[in-house]
Structure 1
Amino acid sequence: MRLLITDPTAVVVDSADITSLRAEDETGSFGILPGHADMLTVLTTSVVLWRHTDGKPGYCAVRRGVLSVQGGKEIAIATRDAQRGDDLETLETQVLARFLAEAEAERAGRVAAMRLHTQAIRRIIEALRANGPTDIGA
């Protein structure tokens, strides 16, 4: 099978000698073997693992992403951020921790922006109420 993992700036993995792949979505971990049915799923922040035909493993940490299988022989993953590594332990501890921290910072930023937006709307409403009803046509 062929595996293609891309992020917005690079092709992180492009390998045509994959015999199996393991990934993770919201429902849990799943595997893909040659001849797998076509599918499309959203990956969680996790490490994707695969095996080459020579038995050598491959690892890539992904920060969410979309995985598709086409024709039972083409696997494509498009992700916001990916980092390939040779050491599973390093990817799981350092890279995944960084990805999760960045995701939490983004979430906190969205919450802060939403609070500011809500406060602005409240101030506008208070200002409109302070001026009282106006006669637009006069």
Structure 2
Amino acid sequence: MSRTLRLTITTPASVLVDRADVASMRAEDESGGFGILPGHADFLTVLPASVVRWRGAGGQEHFCVVEGGVLTATGGARVAIACRQGTLGDDLGTLEAKVAAMRLADTDADRKARTEQLRLHAHAVRQLMRYLRPGQTATAEAVLGQIQGEEAG
């Protein structure tokens, strides 16, 4: 059994990391943080925007921000991360701030998508009500407005 891991971190445009001297690494998925050592069982998980950390055989620590991705550990000696975007850095505080900004942007995008979905749904229901009951659209509009207020809250 090898005493080190081979770590590769790639984006669609480049190879960010390709090291064969990794003693240990840490990452996090939706269930929380986890570590991988040489000899780890095969593993597959999805990474959110987060900081991946690893130690070289000499003990030096390295960091990479990944903007979502897939991590695979195979054969107890190889870890590969494929991500949309990544940034290498040495200052953990700066990288964690970048991750927080990415997560905030993701949350904002999700909120906007839900709002737009609700708006489109309400519009479709209004159109159906106008078609099915042409003389009662005012009452239907009031009920739909009340339902929207409850869903948004």
Match of 1:124 in 2: 127
What displacement does 1:113 show? Answer: 2.3
Name the counterpart of 1:18: 22
Residue 114 of structure 1 pairs with residue 117 of structure 2:
yes
Q: Deviations over 1:56-114 (max 9, x none)?
A: 21101123322110111110112233221111111112x11221122112212211221
Structure 1 runs not aligned, ≥5 long: 133-138
Q: CA deviation at 1:12?
A: 2.1
Separation in 2, partners of 1:129, 1:102: 41
Percent of aligned pairs with the same amino acid: 44
Structure 2's unaligned 5+ residue stretches are 136-153
Partners of 1:114 and 1:27 lie apart in 2 by 28
Q: State the one-letter code of the partner of 2:71.
A: L
| Match in the other structure for 1:74 | 78
Residue type of the partner of 1:85? G
Aligned-residue Cα RMSD (Å) equals 1.8
Q: What are the residue-to-residue correspondences of 1:80-91 with 2, within 5 Å?
A: 80-91=84-95
Residue 131 (structure 1) shift: 5.0
Which of 22, 37, 41 is the aligned partner of 2:41?
37
Letter of the 2:38 partner, please give it: P
Is 1:5–2:9 an aligned residue pair?
Answer: yes
TM-score, normalized by length of structure 1?
A: 0.83
Deviations 1:105-125 (A, max 9, x none): 221221122123202311320
CA distance in structure 2 between the aligned counterparts of 1:37 and 1:120, rounded to whole angstroms: 51
2-structure distance, mates of 1:118, 1:78: 36
Q: Which residue pairs with 1:135 in the alignment?
A: none
Structure with bigger helix share is 2
